[in-house]
Amino acid sequence: MSQQGIFTRVFLLEILKGLSLTFRKLFAKPVTVQYPEQKKPLAPGFRGRHALVRDPETGKDRCIGCYRCAQVCPAQCIFIETERDPETRKRIVKRYEIDALRCIFCGYCEEVCPVNAIVLTEFYEYSGYSRQDLYFNKEKLLQNWDEFIVTQKRPYFNPFWRPRGIPVEKLPAPKRKAEGV
């Protein structure tokens, strides 16, 4: 064995090299975040808890009952029931429910919604004790929106409502000139 070979073997040079690296990291800026106290800022457009947008003018949801979200949903977790108003012949959304436990958070629903009624909010800290807690009906979805929007800068516009770089003619007409809430 060469002289250098013996030297590295006795003094464990390669181990010391590694240890010096870890020792230097002792004085580096920590990358960890003390989670419940500190939070990492989320990117806009994070696909989190569902909400139905409450229209600031009418105070109601914007859903028109077109069933597009229910049709495009790959997990089939959106349930809608509509009926016609007997006088005005307008469509009324009787039931709008999302089973959050089935949802895979792909964001297709907010992308196809022509009136930007549904949104996956940038809110991820939610849980429940039973399955019923995570089965959102219309009131709960509107409540989700109220809880979310107070933490946001107005007007709020989700990137998935009009995805960047998608040609305008590919979007439904109301989406092209949609504005923030």
Partner 1 sequence: MAPTLEIIKKQQTEDIWDEPYFVNMGPQHPATHGVLRLFLELNGETIVRCDPRIGYLHRGVEKLSEFRTYAQDMLLTDRLDYIASAANNVGYCLAVEKLMGLEVPRRAQILRVIACEMARIASHLLWLATHALDIGAMTVFLYCFRDREWLLDIFEMMCGARLTVSYPRIGGVRMDVTPEIIDELYKFTEEFPKRIPEYETLIDVNRIWLKRTKGIAVVSGQEAVNLGLTGPSLRGSGVPYDLRRSVPYLIYDELDFEVAVEFEGDVYARYRVRMKEMREANKIIRQCLDKLSGTEGEPVLAENAPDLLMPFGKIKRPQAAPHPKKGYVVRGVELPVVPEGEVYVATEVPKGELGFYIVSDGTGHPWRMRIRAPSFVHISAIPAMCEGQMVADLIAVIGSVDIVLGECDR
Smallest distance from partner 1 to CB 75, Å = 8
**Residue 118 and residue 110 in contact, taking contact as beta carbons nearer than 8 Å:** yes
Alpha-carbon Rg for the chain, nearest whole angstrom, is: 26
Smallest distance from partner 1 to CB 71, Å = 6
Q: Which is nearer to partner 1, 16 or 60 (CB)?
A: 16
Q: Which is nearer to partner 1, 25 or 60 (CB)?
A: 25
Q: Which is nearer to partner 1, 15 or 92 (CB)?
A: 15
- Closest by Cα among 120, 125, 142, 104 to 39: 125
Smallest distance from partner 1 to CB 58, Å = 26
Smallest distance from partner 1 to CB 109, Å = 9
3-state class (DSSP) for residue 7:
helix
Smallest distance from partner 1 to CB 91, Å = 18
Cα–Cα distances in angstroms (integers) from residue 179 to residues 13, 95, 160, 161, 174, in the given order? 63, 26, 13, 10, 10
- Closest by Cα among 147, 171, 144, 146 to 160: 171
> Binding residues for partner 1, per CB under 8 A?
14-15, 17-18, 21-22, 31, 42-43, 45-47, 68, 71-72, 74, 104-108, 111-112, 120, 159-160, 163-167, 169-170
- Rounded CA-CA distance 137/133 in Å is 10
Q: Which is nearer to partner 1, 27 or 129 (CB)?
A: 27
Q: Which is nearer to partner 1, 72 or 115 (CB)?
A: 72
Please list the alpha-helical segments (H only) found in 58-163.
68-72, 108-112, 138-149
